[in-house]
Structure 1
């Protein structure tokens, strides 16, 4: 059996039976490594050498988590809840519930999309926005699986199609790696190629509103560390200033192509809260530590996923999987497109990062696409979609870990069954279909 398929299968099965995701990654890496003939020393060296691959990402999440919790001291989350209560009505009157649900979900969708480009803080907005709104969700009896689907859509679709923020990074990786593999493309070609696959994500979002439209009952539980904080126009203005300065630092460093923009942006935002007195000096250490702890689990998962990816590359079975698929394909473009998308799904499900998947699969897919006569636009669509596949629905992806971190703040939202499985079914199936259509028509 192919080592990559076995490793991903072990990872997914263990995750489904609620084994800790970090340990599932380690066990999956061991299973795949041994199946490929690697010894324990080689597996260990490959895994540990790969840990550094996502170190900057892990530190970014910790920094942004600290900034997010620091913002709570300005009363920003409480202001959001106050607005939501005014919107819903304190008793959640039945004649306002439907409109309130739609408005709240629409706001969450806009914030999620904006977090990838307009205010590129990625998942750091989730612990600020979502936990304070859980009681409002409970009052409106909103199924949190729908909220998870909305957030995941906002975290993925923008980088697939919009060439700004994280989308600019993803498109740049796609262009550069395709050029190295022998096919030069223009950045302006990528949105055209990714339009149809992006419609697959839109289809999944529409389906989410259909499947999870019914009421779901949750208990009202107190959230640790979510005590009410008094807010004023002054404190909210400090929060806005911190966010704007944090964003400005990130954009400036990004423009200069200096790495670490998220880390330094979070530091700048925290500094503003210090200087303005929105965060008291004697409380700061505890607040920032709490924020780092909140995002620490995601950081550990990303580190372990990087080690997992390193072991999979060491096995050489990703290339074997593509070669095996090629032997089945012959000159059948339709089957080739489908198998390449499935390979991308398997790889991304294991390592949890579409940004990391693209460099792995591009060197293998570009020559195959050229030999089969796919157009440049079709090749972009295949590789871009294959990279994005699995980002939704992977238990180790930040696109699923992020929503769970907010929705499970009161312990009533399961990562695998309430985020991972629903987003896998809602988004990956339409993505395969629309990605395949794009490959056939472009």
Structure 2
């Protein structure tokens, strides 16, 4: 299905979006020229991120917005076009590696869709909905939310696949979600909030990397000369209140903001279909039943893929081997392998491209040399006001992480300034850890270039009815970040 089938897209809305784009861009250009004329220096990082977010809100493709904002931000910082392009290109490799991984995950998702395993789950739930009343509808709705929260939790620690489960698990359930009239924005918030809360609080899997290998390592590296030493037990305590803010935001999204039914275009039969490849035509149908051999081999493929990912620390290798096992067991025809892989590529192309481009964008932000002046300018505004200091630190962290789209990369950038500043203002060690950990995590869920929001869109937009900016980025930004910001400020003041 195309985006034109989305209930929020209409010719009138499209004309309105187009008509407001040029005036907004013209206004930004005029303000920029006025600032230059009066001699006011605009921080290049601020300009770049504001421009990127503005272009995204104007429905410019995210990849184009990232590239355009990066080039203009580099030029504004005084870099030549050659230097800006070099900074952009030099950082593409890491993003390309991650993007290739998600392409392989897409192929595995389509292969699993052909197996019928997830289709079987969707059919069972749909059958239960058929024979029941509204009470069962509420029960299935609650079951879906619980299942997605558990999957999100496990994806960060016990089964550390991060967002890889989303394009595999979500698409086959879209038909059922349509029948339940679930607002997919609520699903996006559940996925983003649950994944963020897990790695920010639990010191296992990705949580062990963030809390121990990145957050505590930077706190001790910068803080030890200043008399601050942090232990592994301190990080979860410091992050408990900020994480509570994320969980409260998730509850608000499900119970208040997106509680009302929302209609989507369904297939004529209104039955669950393997939406993992719905953007293209399947060459062979998903089997109506799943025989024991298919079930066993599919489960073996998943188990081996997970084992390889854990042992070799390579999600790419795990997805590759899982795909090969499903291929050789005859779940789909041997000659259809190219077709299955191509469908997976098409399904994950957007996330792969954006992740790659976002790495170049982050490289240009670093090359401007104006991240540290931005943080230092914020510090100058604080004085000795602890309450104002905590708020400004959190807001600046939110802003920087929106640009990077990655909380893991933001900690080393913020730590050298945030830790001395927090100690100078009189914050306790726990409060200092909370400020740094939350400042770096704010914006991870809610950035156009975040893997969390991109993953949510990859699953929920499998049938072309879920817009990345309006339905993933804005809802997750509001519900994952505002509650976290408020309770992180509280944590800084009371710990």
Q: 1:425 and 1:54 mapped to 2: Cα distance?
A: 26
1:69-119 C-alpha deviation (Å, 9 max, x unpaired): 2222221121121122133226x6323221221111211221122222222
Structure 2 residue 428 is the aligned partner of structure 1 residue 375: yes
Q: What's the RMSD between the two structures over aligned residues?
A: 1.8
What is aligned with 1:268?
321
**What are the superposed Cα offsets for residues 296-320 of structure 1, whole Å, 9 maximum, x if unpaired?**
2212111111111111111121111
Aligned equivalent of 2:181, options 122, 126, 141:
141
User: 1:15-67, CA deviations, whole angstroms, 9 ceiling, x for partnerless residues?
Assistant: 11110101100111122222222221211111111112323322221222222
1:197 matched to 2:238? The reply is: no
Say if 2:341 is the partner of 1:283: no
Tell which structure's C-alpha radius of gyration is larger.
2
Work out whether residues 71 and 239 of structure 1, in 8 Å CA contact, stay in contact via their aligned partners in 2: yes
Aligned equivalent of 1:66? 107
State the distance in 2 between where 1:102 and 1:71 align.
25
Alpha-carbon distance in 2 for matches of 1:354, 1:87? 41
Cα contact 2:304–2:318 (8 A) shared by 1: yes
Paired residue secondary structure (2:87): helix
CA contact (8 A) 1:64 1:121 kept: no
CA contact (8 A) 1:21 1:395 kept: yes
- Judged with a 3 Å threshold, the aligned counterparts in structure 2 of structure 1 residues 221 and 410 are, in CA distance, closer, same or farther, namely farther
Residues 117 and 167 in structure 1, CA contact (< 8 A), matched pair in contact too: yes
Whether the 8 Å CA contact 1:84–1:104 is kept in 2: the answer is no
Aligned equivalents of 2:53, 2:287: Cα separation in 1: 40
1:206 paired residue among 246, 251, 271: 251
8 Å CA contact retained: 1:112, 1:154: yes
Pairs aligned (count): 435
Q: Report runs of 4+ in structure 1 exceeding 4 Å deviation.
A: none
State the alpha-carbon separation in 2 of the partners of residues 215 and 182 from structure 1.
Answer: 50
1: distance between equivalents of 2:308 and 2:367? 38
Is the contact made by 2:116 and 2:287 (CA closer than 8 Å) also made in structure 1? Answer: yes
Structure 1 residues not aligned, in runs of 5+? 255-260
Tell me, in whole angstroms, the C-alpha distance in 1 between the residues paired with 2:409 and 2:152: 22
1:258 is aligned to none
Alpha-carbon contact 2:181-2:264 (below 8 Å) kept:
yes
SS at match of 2:91: helix
Contact 1:393 1:400 in 2 (8 A): yes
Of 200, 209, 212, 1:160 maps to 200
CA distance in 2, matches of 1:40, 1:221: 49
Where do 1:335-414 residues align within 5 Å?
Answer: 335-414=388-467
Q: If the length of structure 2 is used for normalisation, what is the TM-score?
A: 0.84
* Counterpart position of 2:262: 216
Could you tell me which residue of structure 2 aligns to residue 132 of structure 1? 172
**1:181 counterpart SS class:** helix
**Structure 1 partner of 2:286:** 228
Whole-angstrom distance in 1 between the partners of 2:287 and 2:207: 35
The 5 Å alignment of 1:5-44 reads 5-44=46-85
Q: Do the aligned residues in 2 keep the contact of 1:152 with 1:403 (CA within 8 Å)?
A: yes
2:328–2:334 Cα contact (<8 Å) kept: no
Range moving further from structure 2, 240-249 or 181-190: 181-190
Counterpart Cα distance in 2 of 1:408 and 1:337: 37
Match of 1:244 in 2: 303
Counterpart position of 2:86: 45
Long gaps (5+) in structure 2: 1-41, 269-277
Give, in angstroms, the shift of residue 201 of structure 1.
0.7
Q: Is residue 60–residue 262 contact of structure 1 (8 Å, CA) maintained in 2?
A: yes
CA offset at residue 327 of structure 1? 0.8
Q: Where does residue 96 of structure 1 map in the other structure?
A: 136
> Are the counterparts in 2 of residues 348 and 387 from structure 1 also a CA contact under 8 Å?
yes
Whole-angstrom CA distance in 2 between matches of 1:221 and 1:360: 48
CA distance in 1 between partners of 2:159 and 2:329 (Å): 22
Residues 382-420 of structure 1, C-alpha deviations (whole Å, 9 max, x = no match): 111111111121111111111111211222211111111
- Structure 1 position 350, deviation (Å): 1.1
CA distance in 2 between partners of 1:275 and 1:220 (Å)? 33
Distance in 1 separating the partners of 2:56 and 2:160: 29
